[in-house]
Amino acid sequence: GPAPVTKKVQVNQTAYVPGLPKHATLVTDATTPQDWALRNSAGAAVATGKATPKGTDAASGDPVQIIDFSAYDTAGTGYTLVVGEDVSYPFDIGVQPYKDLRKDSLAFFYHQRSGIPIEAQYVGDTYARAAGHLNVAPNKGDDAVPCRADLACGYTLDVRGGWYDAGDHGKYVVNGGISAWQVLDTYERAVALGDASALGDGTLSIPENHNGVPDVLDEARWEVEFLLRMQAPNGMVHHKVHDAAWTGLPTLPSQDPQPRRLSAVSTAATLNTAAVGAQAARIWRTIDPAFSARALAAAEKAYAAAKADPNRLADPNDGTGGGAYNDDTVTDEFYWAAAELYTTTGGAAYRADVTGSPLYKGKSLTTRGFDWASTGPLGDVTLAVVPNGLPPADIAETRSAFTTTADAHLAQIATQGYPAPYQTSDGSYDWGSNGLVANNAMVLALASDFTGQPKYRAGVYETMGYLLGRNPNSYSYVSGYGDQPVRNVHHRFWANQLDASLPTAPPGVLSGGPNSGLQDPVAARLLAGCKPQKCFVDHIEAYSLNEVTVNWNSALAWVANWAAEKSDR
């Protein structure tokens, strides 16, 4: 692909929304305010001004000034910002990219489906591929997977289906859970607090788009069914299923020759299935009562099993052929599962577990954000959004925990050169920082829903701007969006960088983003000494920086759907 370009004028490469603040970042050693001009697509200056010096930005190390062109509000395409000889990437003033991204970000999940052919009629010839893991040689099926030899479970499980986690072909209950939950919550939040009319049947290009059920639910159900299949006879749930050994890049799902293996059950996986099973049970209560009942029975059985076996932690060293996804704190998974079960059933025992949890009323919300290992806030979202029988004062307190955290995000953005709501204690950027940033944008969005205050809505689009190009690397971290999008994400099929006959990622896929831990050999070789936000390279082998996963795209999809819904307001 083209050589990477780092601009001096960093913009959201897709669109600034009419009526909202519009900011860009100028990288300059100058200490006096610099003159900028906004040019339209014909090259005429339509606005000018002076940038505001901000000094050296902590997260990027860049000396920056902020350009504020909020006053200009004429919709159009092909605008650029110009400072001296430096010209930004072009951008729109408009809303269409957010409407497109709502669908493209959800389309990712169909591409990631296991156990079903990905058909050209839905994705075009470029992205069509054969089904993976259905026991068609050389592939091994997921229909009768034995446990790892040392576990000696004495049974096999049919765990076909679900979504591949990421660039690999593993399927992990811990991580599948948050991802399915967030896709489902995109719908639940729209029904409860917003507008679900753009999420109906026929809105996505998937096989189920004429079955009378909202497509976003059909897509999530593909994963929920998998989470239910991972349940052992005793109610505990297997942590994950994946290859016995890592495969190389590229490898199509249907060409993966490795044997498949179940890892041990874990309390965390069991609670993920309990949480999502309970959530699915209420969503499908009238749509498909039989599925709803099956999901609830599995969820209740899982929760009881987890309570009886509360410390069965996943093995941190079980990382051969798939990720470990180990997590040594499950207080948050217990809280999340209890919150979902209480919301669905109103049961007194679940209620006691919710209100008795140390995490109750938003106590686990942090400015780092939530992820597959810290799921307490998912329970808070449900309790704050979906009608339930808790005291109104408690629900109000939970909601105010979101606005307090959102205020901290806005305060941070105000200090930054590039708007990335995300704070760790030491300033480091974690593996999957873009997923955390997107989840923090979800907190801003919920604060907007709860209060109606415009500052939170503006913060969501500012954050989208960071993900879509206003960052020190001049990358849109979303494939297919902007003039310099990521093109070489870590993926075994979208491996065009290694094999020109294979595609690049389809539009709407979020790269993991900067990771100051430099946890792969390419990152270690190319980025020693990098400032946190600059620890990034668009390289297919840089799996600790540039992989894609279901949990990061579920965060993107949630926020993109919110942004699309709110863009016309």
SS3 track for 533-566? HHCCCCCCCCHHHHECCHHHHHHHHHHHHHHHHH
Q: Which is nearer to ligand 9MR, 431 or 477 (CB)?
A: 431
Instruction: Name the DSSP class of 529.
Output: T
Shortest separation between residue 30's beta carbon and ligand 9MR, angstroms: 39
* 111 catalytic residue (yes or no): no
Burial class (CB in 10 A: 0-12, 13-18, 19+), 54: middle
Which residues are near ligand 9MR by CB under 6 A?
A: 165-166, 168, 170, 323-325, 431-432, 543, 547, 549
168, 219, 327, 449: the active-site residue: 168
**Residue-by-residue DSSP string for 390-455:** S-HHHHHHHHHHHHHHHHHHHHHHHH-SS------TT----TTHHHHHHHHHHHHHHHHHHH--HH
DSSP 151: G
| Distance, CA of 531 to CA of 64 (rounded, Å) | 15
Q: How far is the CB of 482 from ligand 9MR (least distance, A)?
A: 23
Mark whether 158 is an active-site residue.
no
CB neighbours of residue 519 within 10 Å: 14
Minimum CB distance to ligand 9MR, residue 514 (Å): 13
Residue 243, strand partner residues: 260
Nearer to ligand 9MR, 37 or 314 (CB): 314
241 Rama class: left (phi>0) / alpha (psi -120 to 50) / beta: beta
Give dist(CA 156, CA 478) in Å, integer. 39
Residue 239 is among the residues annotated as catalytic for this protein: no
CB of 270 to ligand 9MR, least distance (A): 19
Instruction: Tell me the closest approach of the beta carbon of residue 525 to ligand 9MR, in angstroms.
Output: 18
Residue nearest ligand 9MR, CB atom distance: 323
Closest contact distance (angstroms) between CB of 168 and ligand 9MR is: 5
Q: List, in sequence order, the alpha helices (H) in 112-258.
A: 120-123, 173-193, 215-229
Sole residue written with tokens 């293996």: 261
Contact yes or no for 479/496 (Cβ under 8 A):
no
User: Which residue, 281 or 523, is less far from ligand 9MR as judged by CB?
Assistant: 523
The distance of closest approach from Cβ of residue 544 to ligand 9MR in the complex, given in angstroms and rounded to an integer, is: 7
The whole-angstrom separation of Cα 372 and Cα 395 is: 24
Bridge partners of 510, per DSSP, are: 478
- In whole angstroms, how close is the CB of 171 to ligand 9MR at the nearest point? 10
d(CA 223, CA 175): 11
Q: Which of 23, 490, 491, 539 is catalytic?
A: 490
Query: Among residues 165, 353, 371, 538, which one is catalytic?
Result: 538
Nearer to ligand 9MR, 382 or 546 (CB): 546
By beta-carbon proximity to ligand 9MR, the closer residue of 175 and 403 is: 175
Q: Does the active-site annotation cover 210?
A: no
Rounded Cα gap, residues 492 and 221, in angstroms: 24
- CB nearer ligand 9MR, residue 58 or residue 324: 324
Owner of token pair 């992820």: 371
Q: Which of 223, 256, 371, 547 is catalytic?
A: 547
CA distance 86 to 26: 9
Would you say 520 or 565 has its CB closer to ligand 9MR?
520
> CA–CA separation, 87 vs 79, rounded Å?
10
166 or 383, CB closer to ligand 9MR? 166
Active site residues: 168, 490, 538, 547
